[in-house]
Amino acid sequence: MREPLLPSGIPEPLNRELLAWAAGFFDGEGSTIARSDRRRPNYYQLELSVPQRGPDGIPEVLVKFQRAMLGMGTISLRNKGEM
């Protein structure tokens, strides 16, 4: 069985040093939320958040974190006034 190909920019094989960095970064900066839905009993959705600000858009540290997470998730800019 062949291993699936990873998107471009994702380290192959998994980079343990990058994963260790991401774990420490998330431990210090991240948060988790388990959301429930009344329409779906016993269903929970896990949401991870790592809020950061950059002077000109998306901070490079978030791109590095997403790369460590094998490209999962999205990075979005918040509107002014949102925190």
Q: Per residue in 33-75, pLDDT tens?
A: 999 988 998 899 989 999 998 887 889 999 899 988 888 888 8
Look up tokens 């948060």; give the residue: 31
What is the number of domains present in the chain?
1
How far is residue 49's CA from residue 38's CA, in Å, rounded to a whole number?
A: 23
Residue 6: pLDDT band by 50, 70, 90 thresholds? low
> 64: part of which helix (H) or strand (E)?
helix 60-68
Q: For residue 23, tell me if it sits in a domain.
A: yes
Q: What is the mean pLDDT of residues 15-24?
A: 92
Residue 81 pLDDT greater than 90, yes or no? no
Query: What tokens appear for 51 in the block?
Result: 């809020």
Q: For 81, list phi and psi in degrees, rounded to 5.
A: 95, -20
pTM over 0.75: no
pLDDT value at residue 77 = 82
For residue 31, give its domain range: 16-68
* CB count in 10 Å sphere of residue 66: 19
How far is residue 10's CA from residue 14's CA, in Å, rounded to a whole number?
A: 8
Q: For residue 22, tell me if it sits in a domain.
A: yes
Q: For residue 79, tell me if it sits in a domain.
A: no
Q: For residue 52, tell me if it sits in a domain.
A: yes
Query: What tokens appear for 9 in the block?
Result: 């920019």
Q: What is the mean pLDDT of residues 5-21?
A: 75
**Higher local confidence (pLDDT), 83 or 42:** 42
